[in-house]
Amino acid sequence: MSTLRFNAIKETLNRKPIIIKELERRSSIFGANVFNEDTMRQSLTKDAHKSVIDAIENGTKIDRSIADQIASAMKDWALSKGVTHYTHWFQPLTGATAEKHDAFFETIGNGLAVEQFGGGQLVQQEPDASSFPNGGIRNTFEARGYTAWDPTSPAFIYGTTLCIPTVFVAYTGEALDYKTPLLRALQAVDQAAVGVAKYFDKNVKKVNASLGWEQEYFLIDSALAASRPDITLTGRTLLGHSPAKGQQLDDHYFGTIPNRAMSYMRDLETECMLLGIPVKTRHNEVAPNQFELAPIYEEANLAVDHNSLLMDVMEKIAERHNFKVLLHEKPFAGVNGSGKHNNWSLSTNTGVNLLSPGKTPMSNLQFLAFFINTIKAVHDNEELLRASIASASNDHRLGANEAPPAIISVFIGEQLSKVLNELEHVTNGKLSPEEKTDLKLNVVGKIPDVLLDNTDRNRTSPFAFTGNKFEFRAVGSTANCANPMTLLNAIVAQQLIEFKAEVDVLIGNKDMKKDDAIFNILREYIKKSKNILFEGNGYGDAWAKEAEKRGLSNNKTTPDALKAKISKKAIKLFGDLGIMNKIEVESRYEIEMEEYALRIQIEGRVLGDVARNHVIPTAVRYQNILIENVRGLKDIYGAGFKKFAKEQLSLIEEISEHIEEINSIVTLMTNERKNANTIEDIEKKANVYCNKVKPLFDEIRYHADKLELLIDDELWPLTKYRELLFTK
């Protein structure tokens, strides 16, 4: 009997939900562990408080003496809450977050000690950065980077540690993290959008990008997860036959949340409240044991930090509930994967959502300007958007089980499609007063402020307009949102700059009225970016063929997709906007290629090990039982035994064939891997992993999954799909 698997199942079946005592009302604990504006107002002098607000709103520098004051207030606040350590919390390019804890404790001689924390520690710290990936930016003699507080993201307490959100930059000035380019992109889109918004309202001074992510995940019992080496080491199952019952019945999606999962969620939500993460919705997702959590949207940089923090917190809280959280995009083949929809919009300091239709023709023209510019930006940069969500794990999700395909397209719904059709026929040049009145009354004026058909969602669209925001749905569940958010805000910034320049030319040289000029430019944009609009079903061959005709890219693998990141166009985009220089862009490409190769390498090793050391020995053991049985039948029946041993004999043969296949493919894969590892050039290496190593995974899996069906259930060592997915 396969002890580990059965012990794990037994343990799981005996679990009881952990009782969670609800703290006070959510609103009263919200942000209790955050050094937020309210806390700052209470604990800082007027000057210091003003200086932080200035830094948040206008990006001004905080000077050293003020930094000392803030640090001291932060320390006192943290100590009063039982905190002993502080850390600069940042997002290195590995996807996870990083921390290095230091105690507040300092000795001051004569055997005495105090709790100390000054401005220097707040603003600049040198972590030993030599082991973070940097794609060659830092030479060995420059193996240092520094971290500095990002005041737009408030410090928070987690456990007994004060965490200070920081940027991570090399001494040579290059960004080594996700946050730095994101902050630069947000600044770029702010400036560009203010320029355009001023056509409609002179009072607009600042435009914020907002982000509301929806995090999907699986919850698997920790004992069951630990019984699978593939889940433990790669976050997904590399083997496993699909269960008799899958998600066909949709009964999980509409069902009640299972008790243990519910108590996990309540615990998680309480922690989120304390940390100021405004989580609001929770529900089951399509697949069994799959769930979703979504917050109220926030300013994009803060939302990105909150999502990164959330992913950490999810894992930590799960331990308490004997769960393992699977954030992987495709933990189970043939079952719905997990995404992280990025709901994105732009809003002004005057409180206007620029992607929300308004009540007057003029506000609707503003909406259309931002709406159409976004579509044009996506159209012109679809390949870069695809690249921004590329990862080894997301490759498995895209294009399968209702996930969006690798082809980027934009869904806008029937009502807005009609509006764009009308606008496409606006007169070239100055508009007659009649035409303008007609447009204002019957086209622009008729956009309802609630767009009904946008609730009828097309789930397979990678980039959909959903009423008052765009939803980038191709983002994967493990992703750091900073990557897609940096790109999206950058391309929209670039587009808005171009738009303003073109409109200004028409106003200046052609002596056109502002709205005539805007209509004229929008008309051209609609014509130019039509190809990206797609309302149909996003997967299957029909769309792939159609998309190819339209000239849209369809980069199915990460190495193919990532190439766009170092195109001339990308380097120019980031360079022109001051978001990243060529070195930064190229080093990120290298890091991502390397990460890809590493992931496939690890999966290959684990799969080889599981196939050879778990699957084959089990197959041999079962085969021996069969052989024993056949021998017994022969003893009893002599020459006539075959009549009784038919099934056994054919099983013995079938098992041998699968063993033989697994053996030879694993050997082949190991050789391909060895070959890949000798390649120095990271791009070539990633391609060999992608095209030579990875395709063998499916072949090995095919035979192993066949064996799973043939072999006595009692002997099978790997916890099965039905057990992983249906044990609650």
Q: Which does 543 bind (CB under 5 to 8 A by kind): Mg ion, ligand ADP, none?
A: none
Q: Which is nearer to ligand ADP, 166 or 208 (CB)?
A: 208
Q: What is the dihedral of CA 610, 613, 619, 624, to 10 degrees?
A: -170
- Kindly state whether residue 574 participates in binding ligand ADP, applying the rule CB under 6 A: no
353 binds, among Mg ion, ligand ADP, none (CB under 5 to 8 A by kind): ligand ADP
**Nearest residue to Mg ion, scored by beta-carbon proximity:** 341
CB 55 within 8 A of CB 44: no
Binding of residue 210 to ligand ADP (CB under 6 A): yes
3-class secondary-structure state, position 64: helix
In the complex with Mg ion, which residue's Cβ is closer, 116 or 537? 537
Contact window for Mg ion (CB under 5 A) among 340-348, 391-399, 480-488, 690-698: 340-348
Answer yes or no: are the C-beta atoms of 224 and 724 closer than 8 Å: yes
419 contact choice in ligand ADP, Mg ion, none (CB below 5 to 8 Å, kind-dependent): none
- Rounded to the nearest whole angstrom, what is the least distance from the CB of residue 335 to Mg ion in the complex? 19
Task: Name which of 341 and 701 has its Cβ closer to Mg ion.
Answer: 341
Residue least distant from ligand ADP (Cβ): 212
Query: Minimum CB separation from ligand ADP for residue 179, in Å?
Result: 19
Kindly indicate which of the ranges 339-347, 430-438, 547-555, 656-664 contains the residues binding Mg ion, using the contact rule CB under 5 A. Answer: 339-347
Any contact of residue 340 with Mg ion (CB under 5 A)? no
Closer Cβ to Mg ion, 161 or 215, answer by number: 215
CB 526 within 8 A of CB 372: yes
296 binds ligand ADP (CB under 6 A): yes
Q: Which C-beta is closer to ligand ADP: that of 285 or that of 380?
A: 285
Nearest approach in angstroms of CB 122 to ligand ADP is: 30
Number of residues that bind ligand ADP (CB under 6 A): 15
Instruction: Please check whether residue 472 is in contact with residue 463, taking contact to mean a CB–CB distance below 8 angstroms.
Output: yes
Contacting residue, 119, 235, 295, 717, with ligand ADP by CB under 6 A: 295
Quick check: 411 binds ligand ADP (CB under 6 A)? no
In Å, how far are 234, 519, 594, 633, 655 from 645, measured between CA atoms?
41, 82, 53, 7, 15
Q: Give the C-alpha distances (Å, rounded to integers) separating 484 from 255, 382, 463, 557.
A: 33, 12, 12, 17
Q: Which is nearer to Mg ion, 334 or 467 (CB)?
A: 467
Distance CA 261, CA 278 (A): 20
Q: Considering the complex, state which of residue 10 and residue 280 has its C-beta at the smaller distance from ligand ADP.
A: 280
State which residue, 280 or 513, has the beta carbon closest to ligand ADP: 280
How far apart are CB 466 and Mg ion at their closest, in Å? Answer: 7
**Residue where the block lists tokens 């204002």:** 440
Choose among Mg ion, ligand ADP, none what residue 153 binds, the Cβ cut-off being 5 to 8 Å by kind. none
Question: Is 297 near ligand ADP (CB under 6 A)?
Answer: yes
Euclidean distance between CA atoms 273 and 435, whole angstroms:
53
Cross-strand pairs, 291:
217, 284
Could you tell me if 93 and 486 are in contact, meaning their C-beta atoms sit under 8 angstroms apart? Answer: no
CB atoms within 10 A of CB 671: 12
How far, in Å, CA of 395 to CA of 401, rounded? 13
Q: Which of residues 351-370 bind ligand ADP (CB under 6 A)?
A: 353
Exactly one of 127, 195, 212, 404 binds ligand ADP (CB under 6 A); which one?
212
Pairing assessment for the beta strands 298-299 and 410-411 based on DSSP bridges: unpaired
341 binds Mg ion (CB under 5 A): yes
Residue 32 C-beta: closest distance to ligand ADP, Å: 22
x-or-dash string of contact with ligand ADP, 628-647, rule CB under 6 A: --------------------
Closer residue to ligand ADP, CB minimum distance, 212 or 405: 212
Partner interacting with residue 458 (select from Mg ion, ligand ADP, none; CB below 5-8 Å by kind):
none
Q: Is residue 551 left, alpha or beta, with left meaning phi > 0 and alpha meaning psi from -120 to 50?
A: left
- Provide the token pair at 46: 């007027």
CB of 268 to ligand ADP, least distance (A): 16
Residue 342 interacts with, from Mg ion, ligand ADP, none (CB under 5-8 Å by kind): none
User: What's 412-474 look like in SS3?
Assistant: CCHHHHHHHHHHCCCCCCCCCHHHHHHHHHHHHHHCCCCCHHHHCCCCCCCEEECCCCEEECC
Binding flags for ligand ADP, 332-351, as an x/- string (CB under 6 A): -----------xxx------
Q: How far is the CB of 218 from ligand ADP (least distance, A)?
A: 19
Total of residues contacting Mg ion (CB under 5 A): 1
Q: With binding defined as CB under 6 A, does residue 308 bind ligand ADP?
A: no
Q: In Å, what is the CA distance from 422 to each residue of 236, 425, 543? A: 48, 6, 26
| Residue 19: count of CB within 10 angstroms of its CB | 7
Of the listed pieces 88-96, 295-303, 536-544, 620-628, which binds ligand ADP according to CB under 6 A? 295-303
Note whether 469 binds ligand ADP by CB under 6 A. Answer: yes
Rounded to a whole number of angstroms, the minimum distance from the CB of residue 456 to ligand ADP is 11
Binding mask 412-451 for ligand ADP (x = CB under 6 A): ----------------------------------------
* Residue 599: closest CA among 233, 273, 241, 156: 233
Smallest distance, Mg ion to C-beta of residue 544, A: 24
Q: Which does 210 bind (CB under 5 to 8 A by kind): ligand ADP, Mg ion, none?
A: ligand ADP
- Which of residues 403 and 725 has its CB atom nearest to ligand ADP in the complex? 403
> Judging by beta carbons within 10 Å of its beta carbon (0-12, 13-18, 19+), is residue 434 exposed, middle or buried?
exposed
Cβ atoms 615, 706 nearer than 8 A: no
Q: What is the DSSP string of 143-190?
A: --EEEEE-TTS--EEETTEEEEEEEEEETTS-B-BSHHHHHHHHHHHH
Cβ of residue 337: shortest distance to ligand ADP, in angstroms? 17
Among 239, 294, 579, 711, binds ligand ADP (CB under 6 A): 294
Please provide the distance, in angstroms rounded to a whole number, between the alpha carbons at the two ends of the chain: 23
Contact call for residues 332 and 285 (beta carbons, < 8 A): no
Burial class (CB in 10 A: 0-12, 13-18, 19+), 38: exposed
How far apart (Å, rounded) are the C-alpha atoms in residues 7 and 212?
41
Taking CB within 5 to 8 Å according to partner kind, which of Mg ion, ligand ADP, none is near residue 663? none
Angle of CA points 449, 420, 440, to nearest 5°: 60
Residues that bind ligand ADP (CB under 6 A): 210-212, 214, 294-297, 343-345, 353, 466, 468-469
Residues that bind Mg ion (CB under 5 A): 341
